[in-house]
């Protein structure tokens, strides 16, 4: 049987995904959270796991470098990747929100400045509302932007709400809920349908 390649996101969600993989009955002897290795195989070599940056998982899957990816909906949406999303793993739950200082008065009501790590998601949201915006693309610590006048508001992930609270910011509007999803390369879904479906079913049973 042909091998399937599974791209997993490094970082926060990796721990939960690894324990879920263990529950599928597939064992990856060298796979541990502490390991710096990036490629792992299960015992019969039918599954190859590669660890990549979360933002890159949709790219690996869209290009066919991986058949399957497990990654947050945030990265899937932002990537605009053309892939099948087939399963919600219901872990890594959080949401996208618009946030800012509760009493903020934008200096230009025509065009709001939005700081975000997720320009595509922010653009889509404000376009739907008919609100023109200017994006300030940041790569982290986005909550600083409204505090120091770099932006009117932010579009970012809210999980516990602690980062917002500790910086005196509030959620002004929720955009969409996020969780970890399984995505599949469109060609692999046809050419390796047996392996792909078998893996998805194993995962579904592990999730029960
Ligand atoms: C993420 C996200 C928020 C925060 C949300 O940032 O961008 O800032 O976590 O979590 P909370 O609601 O539980 O506080 P992260 O810690 O990944 O850092 P970064 O944005 O600087 O990359
Ligand atoms: Mg952050």
What are the tens digits of pLDDT across the range 138-178?
999 999 999 999 999 999 999 999 999 999 999 999 999 99
Answer yes or no: are the C-beta atoms of 77 and 14 closer than 8 Å. no
Residue from 95, 143, 158 whose mutation best tests the ligand 1 pocket (most atoms within 8 A of CB): 158
ipTM of the predicted structure?
Answer: 0.97
* pLDDT at residue 184, as a whole number: 98
Q: Strand pairing of 47-52 and 39-41?
A: antiparallel
Average pLDDT over residues 75-82: 97
CA of 120 to the centre of ligand 1 (A): 18
pTM (predicted TM-score)? 0.93
Percentage of the chain exceeding pLDDT 90 = 84
Query: Are the beta carbons of 62 and 81 closer than 8 angstroms?
Result: yes
pLDDT at 109 over 80: no
pLDDT exceeds cutoff 90 at 19 = no
Q: Does 78 have pLDDT greater than 90? A: yes
Q: What is the mean pLDDT of residues 183-188?
A: 98
pLDDT at 33 over 80: no
**Residue 132's pLDDT band (boundaries 50, 70, 90)?**
very high
Nearest alpha carbon to residue 59 among 86, 38, 83: 83
134 lines ligand 1 (CB under 6 A): no
Q: What's the CA-to-centroid distance between 157 and ligand 2, angstroms?
A: 7
Please tell me if the CB atom of residue 11 comes closer than 6 angstroms to any atom of ligand 1: no
At 12, list the tokens.
């926060």
Structure tokens at 94: 């959080």
Sign of CA dihedral 136, 140, 146, 149: negative
pLDDT at 131 (0 to 100): 96
User: Residue 48: its pLDDT value, please?
Assistant: 95
**Domains, the chain, ranges and CATH?**
4-93+179-207 (3.40.190.10), 94-177 (3.40.190.10)
Predicted local confidence at residue 17, as pLDDT? 84
Of 143, 183, 133, 178, the C-alpha closest to 163 is 143
Quick one: three-class SS letters along the chain? CCCEEEEEECCCCHHHHHHHHHHCCCCCCCCCCCCCCCEEECCCCCEEEEEECHHHHHHHHHCCCCCEEEEEHHHHHHHCCCCEEEEECCCCCEEEEEEECCCCCCCCCCCEEEEECCHHHHHHHHHHHCCCEEEEECCCCCCHHHHCCCCCEEEEEECCCHHHHHCCCEEEEEEEEECEEEEECHHHHHHCHHHHHHHHHHHHHHHC
């Amino acid at each position: 049987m042909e091998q399937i390649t599974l791209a997993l996101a490094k970082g926060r969600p990796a721990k939960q995904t690894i324990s879920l993989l263990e529950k599928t009955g597939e064992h990856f002897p060298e796979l541990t959270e502490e390991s710096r290795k990036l490629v792992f195989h299960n015992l019969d070599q039918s599954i190859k796991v590669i660890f990549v940056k979360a933002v890159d998982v949709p790219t690996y899957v869209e290009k066919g470098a991986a058949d399957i990816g497990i990654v947050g909906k945030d990265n899937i949406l932002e990537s605009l990747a053309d892939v099948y999303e087939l399963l919600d793993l219901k872990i890594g739950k959080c949401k996208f929100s618009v946030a800012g200082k509760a009493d903020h008065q934008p200096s230009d009501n025509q065009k709001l400045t939005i700081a975000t790590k997720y320009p595509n998601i922010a653009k889509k949201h404000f376009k739907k509302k008919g609100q023109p915006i200017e994006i300030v693309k940041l790569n982290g610590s986005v909550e600083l932007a409204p505090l120091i006048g770099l932006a009117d508001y932010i579009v970012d992930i809210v999980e516990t709400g602690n980062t917002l609270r500790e910086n005196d910011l509030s959620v002004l509007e929720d955009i969409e809920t996020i969780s970890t999803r399984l995505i599949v390369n469109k060609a692999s879904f046809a050419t390796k349908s047996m392996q792909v479906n078998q893996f998805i079913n194993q995962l579904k049973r592990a999730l029960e």
